[in-house]
Amino acid sequence: MKLANKVALVTGAAQGIGKGIAQTFAAEGADVIINDVRCSEKTDELADWIRQQGRRAIVVQADVTKRDEVEAMVERGWDELGSIDILVNNAGIETIIPFLELTDEQWSDVTTVNLKSGWLCSQIFCRRAVAAKRQGAIVNIGSIQAAKVLPGRTHYAPSKLAIEALTRNVSAEMAPLGIRVNCIHPGLIETPMIDWVMKSPDLLPMVLAQISMGRPGQPCEIGSVAAFLASEEARYVTGQSFYVDGGWQGK
């Protein structure tokens, strides 16, 4: 198993890609801290599933845009599970709003959750790891929209492209301290966030026609790449961004 005896913190893990990553990590031997902005049946069910795989799991409700809540979450992880070796910055939101109608508040809401949270969680995770003289790995979750232009995303797309710059810069400073940082840009992944695409008889065929593999991806297919990047198999990989999109970005 790639992640045997590791502890991973996955933000925004209640459903979708975050849930898929948490499940894949547990299957690869990791204990998992399940974070979401609110606890629910979904987070509890995920924790139960992970425990059934023989791994430890805790659920931590925290707003990852607020420093005090992230600090408390990281400390709880260290206190209850002994360490945190891996951070997955997955929490994010998307809205579709025409450029001329976009408000200050709408811009701030998306960029704060999608970008600030990644910086904040990474800083707090790295400070704790460095203080404990522990190595670690960070996996940031971006989006195909870092490269693809889609209508109504003049706030969302920049927040995801900026994650590339965050990844490169944090990786450069943290590499000498033993912490690697990489980014995954998912394509069309079958999650609740894109239900409206999957259920559209007009839109779905148009999108699939642009994807070389002709199908949407599954959350576990992002999870498997994240597990590789978090593992010792990727010990010489840092500062990189990977498109996991079935060939959409290059078509």
Give the domain ranges of the chain. Answer: 7-244
d(CA 218, CA 191): 8
What does the pLDDT read at residue 22?
98
Percent of the chain with pLDDT over 90: 88
* Mean pLDDT, residues 132-141 taken together: 98
* Mean pLDDT, residues 90-107 taken together: 96
What does the pLDDT read at residue 251?
60
At residue 124, does pLDDT exceed 80?
Answer: yes
Instruction: With cut-offs at 50, 70 and 90, classify the pLDDT of residue 202.
Output: confident
Residue 164 is inside which H or E element, if any?
helix 156-174
Nearest Cα to Cα of residue 119 among 151, 91, 154? 91
At residue 126, does pLDDT exceed 80?
Answer: yes
d(CA 71, CA 51): 25
Instruction: With cut-offs at 50, 70 and 90, classify the pLDDT of residue 94.
Output: very high
**Residue of 25, 125, 156, 243 marked catalytic:** 156
d(CA 200, CA 196): 6
Is residue 136 within 8 Å of residue 130, measured between CB atoms? no
Q: What is the CATH number of domain 7-244?
A: 3.40.50.720
Range from 40-54, 189-203, 224-238 carrying the lowest mean pLDDT: 189-203
What does the pLDDT read at residue 196?
81
**pTM for the full predicted model:** 0.96
The pLDDT tens digits for 37-68 are 998 999 999 999 999 999 999 999 999 999 99
Range from 20-24, 183-187, 239-243, 247-251 carrying the lowest mean pLDDT: 247-251
Query: CB 188: neighbour CB atoms within 10 A?
Result: 20
* Mean pLDDT, residues 64-93 taken together: 98
- List the structure tokens of 52: 């059934």
* 236: annotated active-site residue: no
Residue 122 DSSP symbol: H
Q: Mean pLDDT across the chain, nearest whole number?
A: 95
